[in-house]
Amino acid sequence: MRRFLINIIAVTLPCLLICFILLELVFRFVIPASQLPDTVWCESGGIPHFDTKGKTDGIFTAGRFAQLRAQWHINNDGWISETDYSDTRLPGRRLIAIIGDSYIEALAVGVNKNVSAVLGRLLGSQVDVYSFGYAGSPLSQYLQMSRYVARKYKPDIFVINVVHNDLQKALRSWHHSRTLCSSKDSMVCWKRESRFPTFRIR
C-alpha cells in the first residue's frame, strides 16, 4: 500500500506541475489575462490616479480568447499616456489638457491610439497634449481634475469630454440608490456603482 501511494504521488505531482506550467504559458502568451493598473489617491489634488511605483506597463484584454488586446503605460504623473508630463515648457510651446472618464482613459484602446496620442501627432512638435482620464469620473470630478491640472501644468487650452451618463453620475440622489436603464422599454438595467466616493468641492 505504501509503495502504491508513493507511485501515485510520483506520477501525480509531476503531471500537476507540468499542467500548471502549460497553463501559465497559455495565459501569459497565447490567451493573456487582462492586467489592470493600480489606483492611488492624490492627496494634493484630491483626485484618484494610477500608481507610478507599481506596475507601469501591461496589457488589457477582453473576449473569450482575448481578441481585444491593448497595451497601456502609466507615465510619471500617474496617467495612461505614452509620454511623461513636465510642468516646465519651452518658450512658444503650447499645451492642451484633455479631461474625462473612460473615454479619455482609453484603457481598452491602446496607449498609442488614444485621443491624446493621435491629436499630439496631428498637431506636431509645437503642441503638447496631456490627457487626464479616469474611468467612472462624474462631472464634479472633472472640476477637481481641472483644478489640479491648472495648478500644476497651466495649460493653454482645456478640453473637457462630457458624455451622456456624466450628468446621471453627478446627481447625488441617484448615488447607489436607483437602477438606471438604457431606455424606457429596455430589459437591461444596472445599478450605478462608483469606483470612489462622492467628493465635496470647495
Are the C-beta atoms of residues 164 and 105 closer than 8 Å to each other? no
Domain boundaries, the chain: 1-30, 34-191
Sign of CA dihedral 28, 195, 101, 51: negative
Per-residue pLDDT at 174: 52
| Biggest CA-to-CA distance, the chain | 84
* pLDDT (tens digit per residue) in 22-51: 888 877 777 888 999 999 999 888 899 999
pLDDT at 171: 65
- Residue with the three cell numbers 462630457: 162
3-class SS at 71?
strand
Burial class of residue 195 in the structure, from the number of CB atoms within 10 Å of its CB (0-12 exposed, 13-18 middle, 19+ buried): exposed
d(CA 72, CA 134) in angstroms, rounded, equals 13
Low-confidence ranges of the chain (pLDDT < 50): 177-202
CA distance 121 to 200: 37
CATH class given for the domain over 34-191: alpha beta
Three cell numbers at 111?
496607449
Q: Are strands 47-50 and 68-73 parallel, antiparallel or unpaired?
A: unpaired
CB of 139 within 8 A of CB of 166? yes
- pTM here is 0.73
CA terminus-to-terminus distance, the chain: 75
Whether the CA torsion 56, 199, 152, 82 is positive or negative: it is positive
CA 188 – CA 202 distance, rounded (Å): 37
Q: Which three cell numbers stand for residue 76?
A: 510619471
